[in-house]
Structure 1
Amino acid sequence: MSNDQSVLVVSATRSEAKHVPDGTRLLITGIGKVSTAIALTRALSDGPPVDLVVNIGTAGALHAHHSGLFVPSTVIEHDISSAELTAMGYPVVDSWTLPDGDGTVLASGDTFVADPIRRDELARRADLVDMEGCAIAHVSAEFGVPCRLVKVVSDSADEAAMEWPTFVDAAARELGTWLRDADLVGRSVVAPG
């Protein structure tokens, strides 16, 4: 990554961004698709130019063999009735392909997945689940800005997911290390959140 590129690192929570390197241009959006879409839209509309959006955060694993850090190749919005809306004549985009991914699929929606039955349903379509990735991809695409999603597995999207707060710091450390290694340092800008 060239240091002359303007990179905006986006995180839903300050705890997930706790170990972002100093000097990184950072936007904290709040949890969920709506707050994320609003915050990123404002940043891309009103802020300095952005060449790349990098979303860092945690994700639930939808398969037992998934752990560690992932850079998804595809993100799908799992909680919108796209097939039904399209059938009624209102086509909905609910999937985005991302460059430089590792082949994993991230299911994204406003539902905090802590139910094994819901996890198993999502596992038929995806590898990981989060609450902001599709909003990042959607807004970035609307502005013509490439984006990359970087997720660390924090839980298994089951009953244990309610322990998420206890796992966030370890995930944040891994995300901070990834950012340092990727050399994604720019000007520091933090939005309220």
Structure 2
Amino acid sequence: MSRYLVVSATRAEAAHIPPALPVIITGIGKTTAATAVTKALMETDRTGLVVLNIGTAGALRPDREGLFLPGRVINHDISAESLRALGYDPRDELALEGGDDTVLASGDTFVTDPVVRDQLAARADLVDMEGYAVAFACDALGVPVRLIKHVSDSADAGAMAWPDLVDASAQVLGDFLRELIDGGDVGSS
């Protein structure tokens, strides 16, 4: 039986998480997410633990809406090609077990520009600001992770309405976790 630790960037995204699940609120962005997750995992018995990173995402393509469990996540705002040219591996892409065929792009840039969105859409389906960092920290510490993302906007100027949109996504995310609990596959950490 797995034990779960739910990770969310904001309290708004975590508003409907069932009370039986432990939650960590990381703050926005890759640095705060990686730091908070690493700290939490270092202070937790990791035996049988699975991290569930829930949150909202922007759709990079018009046919993307609803709930996704990305099978790959990329760090989109690192100069990966330049680092490779210098002989370094930036590990800018991670495969995630148990995910679907969705690719999530994570970066510290809040995407609202249609040109940036279209460039990202060539590589990914969705965009967020923490998924890659959470996955990277979990990978470094040998803890399985699942990214669970709900599309809140189209990663365009409409994304600025996120505060008005987040609760609808939080309800869907909470329902997903409730179904997980009802399936009897949750333990406390």
* TM-score of the superposed pair, with normalisation by structure 1: 0.93
Q: Which amino acid in 1 is paired with 2:106?
A: S
Q: Which amino acid in 2 is paired with 1:33?
A: K
Whole-angstrom distance in 1 between the partners of 2:104 and 2:147: 9
Question: Is structure 2 residue 70 aligned with structure 1 residue 72?
Answer: yes
* SS at 1:22 equivalent: coil
Q: Which residue of structure 1 lines up, in the alignment, with residue 159 of structure 2?
A: 161
* SS at 1:107 equivalent: strand
Whole-angstrom distance in 2 between the partners of 1:34 and 1:149: 17
CA shift, 1:74, in A, is: 0.4
8 Å contact 1:25–1:185 — kept in the other structure? no
Q: Which residue of structure 1 lines up, in the alignment, with residue 4 of structure 2?
A: 7
* SS at 2:52 equivalent: strand
Q: Which amino acid in 1 is paired with 2:146?
A: R
Written as runs of structure 1 = structure 2, the 5 A alignment for 1:22-41 is 22-41=19-38
Whole-angstrom distance in 2 between the partners of 1:52 and 1:112: 27
Whole-angstrom distance in 2 between the partners of 1:91 and 1:163: 37
Deviation beyond 4 Å, 4+ runs, structure 1: none
8 Å contact 1:79–1:109 — kept in the other structure? yes
Q: Name structure 2 gaps, 5 residues minimum.
A: none
Whole-angstrom distance in 2 between the partners of 1:149 and 1:47: 20
Q: Please, which moves more after superposition, 48-57 or 119-128?
A: 48-57
Whole-angstrom distance in 2 between the partners of 1:169 and 1:186: 26
User: Of the candidates 2, 14, 17, which is equivalent to residue 17 of structure 1?
Assistant: 14
CA shift, 1:49, in A, is: 2.5
Whole-angstrom distance in 2 between the partners of 1:10 and 1:185: 15
Whole-angstrom distance in 1 between the partners of 2:85 and 2:62: 35
Once the two structures are superposed, what CA deviation does each residue of 1:96-144 show, in whole Å capped at 9, x if it has no partner? 1111112100000000001111000000000000000000110010001
8 Å contact 2:46–2:143 — kept in the other structure? no
Q: Please, which moves more after superposition, 176-185 or 127-136?
A: 176-185
Q: Which residue of structure 2 lines up, in the alignment, with residue 187 of structure 1?
A: 188
Q: What percentage of aligned pairs have identical amino acids?
A: 56
Once the two structures are superposed, what CA deviation does each residue of 1:68-103 show, in whole Å capped at 9, x if it has no partner? 100001000000011111111222100111111121
Q: Which residue of structure 2 lines up, in the alignment, with residue 92 of structure 1?
A: 90
Question: Is structure 2 residue 119 aligned with structure 1 residue 114?
Answer: no
Q: How many residues align?
A: 185
Whole-angstrom distance in 2 between the partners of 1:86 and 1:19: 42
Q: Which residue of structure 1 lines up, in the alignment, with residue 45 of structure 2?
A: 48
CA shift, 1:48, in A, is: 3.2
How big is the alpha-carbon RMSD for the aligned residues of Structure 1 and Structure 2?
1.2
Q: Name structure 1 gaps, 5 residues minimum.
A: 189-193
CA shift, 1:185, in A, is: 4.1
Q: Which amino acid in 1 is paired with 2:38?
A: T
CA shift, 1:186, in A, is: 3.9
